[in-house]
């Protein structure tokens, strides 16, 4: 039995709140706040219709620490689940410290004016959370989130060491639009246009964005081009798997997506510095977001599957030499939409957000300070993935990845 406050009424917030309402024995009292209250109300209506559960809704600007602290005091939750944007992470952590409330999110803090994906801003809260006897859990989505749990499960049950790790994120969904992003366009485009970085022999190696491309045959999807890029879990994985010699992150993109993005970049529409237009300062990428389809609107038309997993090579636990394992989840866009009214990209993030929240409020994961997913026992989380909509499989591969 627990009271939680979810902040953020986008696709991920919608899935997380639906899944919490489907688990009333864990989440007995659910509150949802976001900048636009009508979005919270639409989610509350859908939750009521699908599950019979009533959730309370509020308008909040989570950049305003005072207002957020006042709302947390009014509601009195055990845990705040931050599913707004990465820009709000520090403000919401401050409000949690001010009110003595546990904190969780799905994406690391980013300053608005520079596309930097690093944990140091949030790791700097370690002492303050510890002294307050509070827990902050960072990155409980799919990637980051499940991809780290997958690696730690392999390290617990299959491999004594992980020497090489590749995270493969494939979205084989087709939404029928010429160009759209499957989650917040501003965050997505900042991530994709940033230089690629991978971990190799104790340091990050930087290469130009989208420069390394490989074709891979994804189960349930078929062959797709995937591109090496930076993703924030590489930083926490490198920290918590110290023997790791190489870690890379790959994401699939279709040719049409790459062509559109190249043009948008070439004409300056992905810039994140302000330009003056008719006497008004606008950030081109924020303007672009305003004219692109809302990710939530893609739900009804998206067909196909996502396939996200880890391929890890290292010494087998049973002493049988070097082994390679592939652990993954395949999620169907139409099934996700039928269950929660949201497509699989939101679903694969919102379900692990609900599970991370469950780990905290049930006490399955406990701690004082700021934690990444790698620091806890993966087993209870993996069990809930299987029973709450994101079943996973693990197989031994005959050989390591050839590239």
Which residues are at the interface with ligand NDP (CB under 6 A)?
Answer: 7-13, 34-36, 39, 60-63, 83-86, 88, 106-107, 141-145, 183-184, 187, 295-296, 346, 349
DSSP tag of 399: S
> Which residues, in sequence order, are CB contacts of 275 under 8 Å at separation 6+?
268, 281, 282, 283, 284
- Output the smallest distance, CB 149 to ligand NDP, in A: 12
Q: Which is nearer to ligand NDP, 219 or 294 (CB)?
A: 294
The Cα 135–Cα 37 span in angstroms is 28
Residue with the CB atom nearest ligand NDP in the bound state: 10
Q: Which residues pair with 281 in a beta bridge?
A: 276
Residue length, the chain?
Answer: 403
Comparing CB distances to ligand NDP, the nearer of 270 and 349 is 349
Residue 184 CB, shortest distance to ligand NDP, in Å, is 4
> Smallest gap, in angstroms, from Cβ of residue 6 to ligand NDP?
10
Smaller CB separation from ligand NDP, 106 or 252: 106
Q: Which residues contact 22 (CB under 8 A, 6 or more apart)?
A: 51
Taking the least distance from each CB to ligand NDP, the nearer of 89 and 332 is 89
Tell me how far apart the alpha carbons of residues 297 and 184 are, in angstroms, rounded to a whole number. Answer: 12
Give whichever of 39 and 323 is closer to ligand NDP, judged by the CB atom: 39
Least distance to ligand NDP from the beta carbon of 182, Å?
Answer: 8
Select 2 or 348, whichever has its Cβ closest to ligand NDP: 348
Pseudo-torsion of CA 103, 152, 332, 337, nearest 10°? Answer: -10
Q: Which is nearer to ligand NDP, 142 or 153 (CB)?
A: 142
29 or 110: whose CB is closer to ligand NDP? 110
Q: Closest approach of Cβ 171 to ligand NDP, in Å? A: 11
Contact 319, 167 (CB under 8 A): no
Shortest distance (Å) from residue 319 CB to ligand NDP: 35
How far apart are the C-alpha atoms of 282 and 295, rounded to whole Å? 22
Is-contact 264 272, C-beta < 8 A?
Answer: no
Shortest Cβ distance from residue 88 to ligand NDP (Å)? 5
Distance CA 3, CA 123 (A): 26
Range list of H helices, 176-266: 185-193, 233-240, 255-266
Measure CA 70 to chain center.
Answer: 27
Provide the minimum distance between the beta carbon of 82 and ligand NDP in the complex, in angstroms, as a whole number. 8
φ, ψ of residue 84 in degrees (nearest 5) = -85, -145
């Amino acid at each position: 039995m627990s009271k939680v406050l979810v902040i953020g009424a986008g696709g991920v917030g919608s899935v997380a709140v639906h899944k919490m309402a489907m688990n009333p024995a864990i989440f007995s009292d659910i509150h949802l706040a976001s900048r636009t209250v009508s979005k919270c109300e639409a989610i509350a209506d859908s939750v009521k219709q699908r599950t019979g559960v009533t959730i309370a809704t509020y308008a909040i600007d989570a950049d305003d620490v005072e207002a957020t602290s006042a709302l947390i005091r009014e509601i009195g939750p055990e845990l705040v689940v931050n599913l707004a944007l990465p820009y709000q992470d520090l403000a919401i952590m401050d409000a949690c410290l001010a009110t003595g409330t546990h904190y969780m999110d799905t994406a690391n803090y980013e300053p608005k004016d520079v596309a930097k994906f690093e944990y140091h801003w949030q790791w700097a809260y370690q002492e303050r959370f510890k002294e307050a006897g509070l827990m902050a859990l960072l990155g409980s989505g799919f990637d980051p989130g499940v991809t780290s749990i997958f690696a730690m499960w392999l390290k617990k049950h299959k491999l004594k060491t992980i020497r090489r790790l590749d995270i493969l994120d494939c979205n084989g969904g087709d939404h029928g639009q010429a160009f759209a992003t499957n989650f917040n366009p501003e965050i997505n485009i900042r991530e994709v246009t940033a230089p690629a970085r991978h971990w190799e022999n104790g340091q990050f190696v930087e290469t130009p964005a989208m420069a390394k491309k490989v074709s891979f045959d994804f189960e349930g999807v078929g062959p797709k081009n995937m591109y090496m890029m930076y993703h924030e879990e590489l930083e926490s994985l490198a920290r918590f798997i110290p023997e790791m010699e190489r870690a890379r992150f790959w994401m699939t993109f279709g040719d049409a997506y790459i062509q559109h993005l190249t043009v948008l970049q070439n004409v300056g529409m992905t810039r994140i510095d302000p330009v003056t237009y008719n006497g008004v300062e606008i950030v081109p990428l924020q303007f672009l977001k305003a004219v692109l389809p809302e990710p939530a609107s893609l739900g009804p038309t998206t067909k196909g599957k996502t396939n996200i997993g880890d391929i890890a090579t290292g010494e087998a636990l049973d002493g049988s030499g070097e082994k390679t394992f592939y652990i993954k989840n395949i999620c169907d866009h139409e099934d996700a939409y039928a269950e929660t009214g949201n497509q699989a990209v939101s679903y694969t993030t919102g379900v692990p957000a609900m599970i991370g929240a469950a780990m905290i409020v049930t006490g399955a994961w406990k701690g004082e300070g700021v934690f990444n997913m790698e620091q806890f026992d993966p087993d209870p989380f993996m069990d809930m993935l299987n029973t709450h909509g994101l079943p996973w499989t693990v197989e031994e591969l005959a050989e390591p990845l050839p590239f």
